[in-house]
Structure 1
Amino acid sequence: MAFAGPSGTPDELFKAGRFKEADRGYEQVLEGDPDNAHAYAQRGYIALLSNGFADAERFLTRAVDLAPGDSASKERLADCFVRQDQLGRAVPLLRAAGREAAAKQYESVTGTPFEIRGPRSTRLPIDFRYPIPLVRASVNGAEPVAFTIDTYASLALTMETAEKAGLRAVATSTGRNPQETFTIYHGIVDSFRVGEFELRNVPVLWHKAEMPHPLGVPQPNGAFGTTVFYHFLTTIDFPNNALVLRRKTKAQLREFRSEAERAGADRLPLWLVNTHFPCTLGSLNGYGPKVASVDLGAEGAIQVGTRPEVAERAGLRPDHDRPAVFATAEATYPFVAPKAGVGNAVARDVYGWVSENFGFDERFGFETIGNFSQEFFKEFSITFDYAGMNLYISSR
C-alpha cells in the first residue's frame, strides 16, 4: 500500500522534483513494507541524484536483489560506480542491463580511469564565435584543436580526430540524429589534455556524423562536458571568456566556497542524472522555482519541452506561425520569455523554444520546467561543485 501524505504520494512528490519529501515518503513505505523494491529503487535514485554514493549503492543493490529484472536500477547502480571511477564494478551491471558496448568499453580500461596529472588548477580561454563555446584540447599528444564544451556531452570526437589519434574501437553501438542513423565507436584515450591538466585512460566515443556547427564554418574536432567536469571544481566564466578547472581538494573547495560567499554568489542545489545531465532550480515568468536542466550545448537560451502546459503556466506565447526543427524534436516554436531566472540570476526578454517532443522528463522520471543553455548564462559565471552538489552563479 502506497503512503500518501498531505502533499501527495512519494511518486507524485518525486515527479514534481520534491526529492527530499519523496525520500521521506519512500522511507515510510519501507517501514510498512520492508521488501518494496520500487521504494528501494527510488530512494537509491534520489541518493544518486545528489552523489550520495553510499546510500545509492545500498538502496539500489537491495532493489536489484528484490527485482532482478529491474534494468533501470542496474544502470543506476552502474552509474554510481562510474561516477566514482570504479568502472570495473559497473561492467557486470551494464552487461546485465543490455548495455554491452559500454560494458566492453569500461572493461578495456587498463590504467587508472580519469587519472589527473597537472597543477592545482588551470584556466583557458573560451571562444564564443560559435553558438556553442569552444576551447582547445589535445588528444594523445597531438596539437590542440577546437572542442565544444557541452554539459550534456561525454568525451566525443569526430572520425578524423579519432583516426589522427590512432584510436582503436573496442565496441560499437548505434546513434541517431534527425538526418541519419550512424555507428558510434567506443574506445579509450590514453591522454586528453585540456589547459595544464592531462587526463589519462579516458573513455571516448567517435562517429562520422557531423557535430553541431554554424553554416559556413568548420565543425569542431570534438566535444566534452560533465563526465570531465565532475572530476574538477569547474567554472565557466562567461563574462571573462574563461574555463577554470580546479582539483577537488578540501583546501581548494573551502577556498572557493569562501570566495563565492564573499562575492555574493547564489548557491543552488545541483543534481546529476545519468553521468552527464546536470539539473538545478529555475523559473519562468514567476512560475517556479522548479527543477530545470542545464545544457550549455543547446541553441537558444531556454528550451521548454514535453509538456506544452509548462509554457501556458509560465505565460509564454509560442509563435505557432514559425515552426522549426530543433534537435530530435519535429515541431518546435519560438517564444520570448519576459523574465527567466536561475536563482537570483535573472534575464529578461529571453529567446527560447517550446516543443511537445523536446525534453527529458520521461528519461529523468521527473518533471522539468525547461532547459537553460549558454545564451541564458552569458552574463554570469557558473560553477559546478560536484563534491558538495551545489551550483554557484554570479555576475561579474
Structure 2
Amino acid sequence: MAKKLIMMSVLTLLGIGSAAQSMKKAKAYFKSGNFSQAKNEYLHIIDKQPQNGKALIYLGYILLMQNKLDEAESWLLKASKIKPNFATINNFLAEIYYRRNDFDKAAVYFRAIGREGLALKLARFKNQTPYQVDKQFDEVRIQFIVTNPLPFVKVIINQQYEGNFILDTGAGELILDENFAREAGAEIFGKPEISDFGGGKKATISHGKISSIQLGRFTVKNIPVQLLQLRHIELEGMKIDGVIGTIFLSQFLSTIDYKNGDLVLRNKHTHFPDQLSANALNASLIPFSIAGDHYMLAKGSINDSDTMLFFIDTGLGNTAFTCPASTVKKLKLPLQKNKRSSGQGGGGHYDIYPFHIEKLCLGNICVSNLHGQYGPFPKTLENSFGFKIDGLLSHEFFLNKALTIDFESMKYLISE
C-alpha cells in the first residue's frame, strides 16, 4: 500500500512538472508571436488539466486574435467558471461580443471592467442594427481625393456635414474631429479616455454615435464613433475631419487600392478573396491576427532579418516602417541623427530620425529602397499585449498595390 502511494505521488509530481514545462513552452511561443504553436501547447495542457484557468484564458485569447469568436467564447466562459469576475476574461468576452456587433452583451462586460463611456455608447444601440446597410448592397468604390501622404476620401456625416477623412488601419472605429462631431450633431457619452498615439504621446478620446455616414452614393447607418482633436493636423495643406479605421473596414470585404486611387467596400457575405485573387496580378494571401479591437499583426522582415511580428498600420504618411528602440539596436538600423525632424500625430508633436531600408517584407512580398522613421512608434505598444511587436509597417510599402482585408479568413490579399 505504501509503495502504491509513493508511486502515485511520484506520478503526480511528474505530471505537475510536465504541465509546468508545457506552460513555460506555451508562454515562450506566445511571447515570440508564434500563436499557432502556443495554441497547440495550451490545448495539450487543457487535455491533461481541464481546470487550468491560465491555459483556458490564453487559449481563448489566441482564438480571439484569430477571430474564431465562437471557439474563443467557449473557452473563456469555461475559464470564467474557474475565475469568476476576472477582469482579463471580462475584457476578452467584451471584445468578442463587440466584434460580433452584439453591443448589448458587450456593454455589460465593458462596464464590468470600468469602461463606462464605451458601455454607455454601445447600450445606446439597443433595438438598432450597427453598421446597417441596404439589403441589396453589393459593392461601392469611393475615389481618393489624394493618395499621398495618406489617402483622403470625402464623406457626409448625418446627411449634411461634409468632411475629408483619411484611411488608417492604425485607427479602430470611425474617428471624428471633436469640433466636427459637435457640428454634425454626434451623440457623446461618458468621460473621455486617455489613449496612446505616435511618438508615445497621449490624448483623450471620447465615445459617440452618429446616425449615418455617406460615401459616394453608399450610406451606412447607426455607427459607433470616437472623438479626437484632429483638425490641427495638416497633411499637404489638408485638414483632417475624421479617420476611417479598421473596425469600420471590418464590416465589409474592404480594399484600399493605392494603385487606382479607390476605397472599395464589398458585401463580405457575397464576395470572397479567392474570387478577387483569381483576377488580380501577382496576388499574395498573407495571414494576420488582431489584438485588441484593431491591432492587425502579420509576420515580416526588414533588411533580411529573422522573421518579425509587425503591426500593419497604414496611417504613417510617406513612410514604410517605424519600430521601437530594441529593433533599432538589434538590427543596427542606420539612424540619420543629423536629419532630425518633427512629426505630428493624434497626441501631438514628436521627434523623427530617418533611416534607409534596403528591403522590407510582409509575408512573401518584398519592397526595396524605402523610408523608415525612428520616433513614431509608441513605446507602450511593444509589449502591451503580452508578446513583442517588432515594428510597424505602413503607407509607403503599399503604394502601387491594392490591400484587401478579409476578416472572415483573416488574410490579406495584396496585389499589383
Which of 328, 333, 349 is equivalent to 1:316?
333
Question: Does residue 388 of the first structure (1) align with residue 409 of the second (2)?
Answer: yes
Question: Does residue 170 of the first structure (1) align with residue 189 of the second (2)?
Answer: yes
Question: Does residue 142 of the first structure (1) align with residue 142 of the second (2)?
Answer: no
Structure-2 residue corresponding to 1:343? 363
Identity of aligned residues (%): 26
Aligned ranges 1:242-253 → 2 under 5 Å: 242-253=262-273
**2:201, 2:378 within 8 Å by CA — same for their partners in 1?**
no
Aligned residues: 390
Structure-2 residue corresponding to 1:98? 114
Deviation at 1:3, TM superposition (A): 4.7
Question: Does residue 72 of the first structure (1) align with residue 93 of the second (2)?
Answer: no
- Rg (Cα) greater in structure: 2
**2:200, 2:380 within 8 Å by CA — same for their partners in 1?**
no
Compared CA separation, residues 286 and 30, structure 1 to 2 (3 A): same
What's the secondary structure of 2:306's corresponding residue? Answer: strand
Distance 2:233 2:372 in 1: 18
Instruction: Tell me whether 102-111 or 163-172 shows the greater mean CA deviation.
Output: 163-172
Deviation at 1:105, TM superposition (A): 0.6
Deviation at 1:95, TM superposition (A): 0.8
Which of 98, 105, 122 is equivalent to 1:82?
98
Deviation at 1:195, TM superposition (A): 3.1
**2:354, 2:371 within 8 Å by CA — same for their partners in 1?**
yes
Q: Deviations over 1:216-243 (max 9, x none)?
A: x242211111111111111111111111
What's the secondary structure of 2:412's corresponding residue? Answer: strand
Q: Deviations over 1:68-125 (max 9, x none)?
A: 3532331221111111111111111111111111111100113111112263000111
Distance 2:36 2:43 in 1: 11
Which of 196, 215, 240 is equivalent to 1:194?
215
Compared CA separation, residues 57 and 26, structure 1 to 2 (3 A): same
Distance 2:205 2:176 in 1: 10
Distance 2:47 2:147 in 1: 56
Distance 1:69 1:333 in 2: 45
Structure-2 residue corresponding to 1:42? 58
Structure-1 residue corresponding to 2:239? 219
Deviation at 1:191, TM superposition (A): 0.9
**1:239, 1:381 within 8 Å by CA — same for their partners in 2?**
yes
**1:270, 1:279 within 8 Å by CA — same for their partners in 2?**
yes
Which of 381, 398, 411 is equivalent to 1:360?
381
Distance 2:315 2:232 in 1: 11
Equivalent residue letter for 1:104: L
Question: Does residue 133 of the first structure (1) align with residue 144 of the second (2)?
Answer: no
Distance 1:181 1:53 in 2: 31
Structure-2 residue corresponding to 1:115? 132
What's the secondary structure of 1:296's corresponding residue? Answer: coil
Residue ranges of structure 1 left out of the alignment (5+ in a row): none
Equivalent residue letter for 2:180: T
Distance 1:301 1:321 in 2: 18
Distance 1:351 1:180 in 2: 22
Distance 2:415 2:144 in 1: 18
Question: Does residue 33 of the first structure (1) align with residue 53 of the second (2)?
Answer: no
Q: Deviations over 1:310-330 (max 9, x none)?
A: 234435222344445555696
What's the secondary structure of 1:9's corresponding residue? Answer: helix
**2:230, 2:240 within 8 Å by CA — same for their partners in 1?**
no
Instruction: Tell me whether 67-76 or 292-301 shows the greater mean CA deviation.
Output: 67-76
Deviation at 1:169, TM superposition (A): 1.5
Which of 50, 74, 77 is equivalent to 1:58?
74
**2:56, 2:76 within 8 Å by CA — same for their partners in 1?**
yes
The two structures have a TM-score, normalised by structure 2, of 0.85
What's the secondary structure of 1:363's corresponding residue? Answer: coil
Structure-1 residue corresponding to 2:224? 203
Distance 2:279 2:164 in 1: 31
Q: Deviations over 1:172-197 (max 9, x none)?
A: 31336689976533221111122333
Question: What is the RMSD computed on CA atoms of the aligned residues?
Answer: 2.7
Distance 1:115 1:71 in 2: 31
Distance 1:14 1:226 in 2: 24
Which of 176, 196, 219 is equivalent to 1:157?
176
Structure-1 residue corresponding to 2:393? 372
Distance 2:114 2:210 in 1: 24
As a proportion of its length, which structure holds more helix? 2
The two structures have a TM-score, normalised by structure 1, of 0.89
Compared CA separation, residues 251 and 303, structure 1 to 2 (3 A): closer
Compared CA separation, residues 59 and 189, structure 1 to 2 (3 A): same
**1:4, 1:25 within 8 Å by CA — same for their partners in 2?**
no
Distance 2:202 2:325 in 1: 27
Compared CA separation, residues 181 and 364, structure 1 to 2 (3 A): closer
Distance 1:170 1:190 in 2: 15
Q: Deviations over 1:334-377 (max 9, x none)?
A: 21111111123222121112358546232222222311111111
Deviation at 1:207, TM superposition (A): 3.7
**1:302, 1:370 within 8 Å by CA — same for their partners in 2?**
no
Structure-1 residue corresponding to 2:4? none
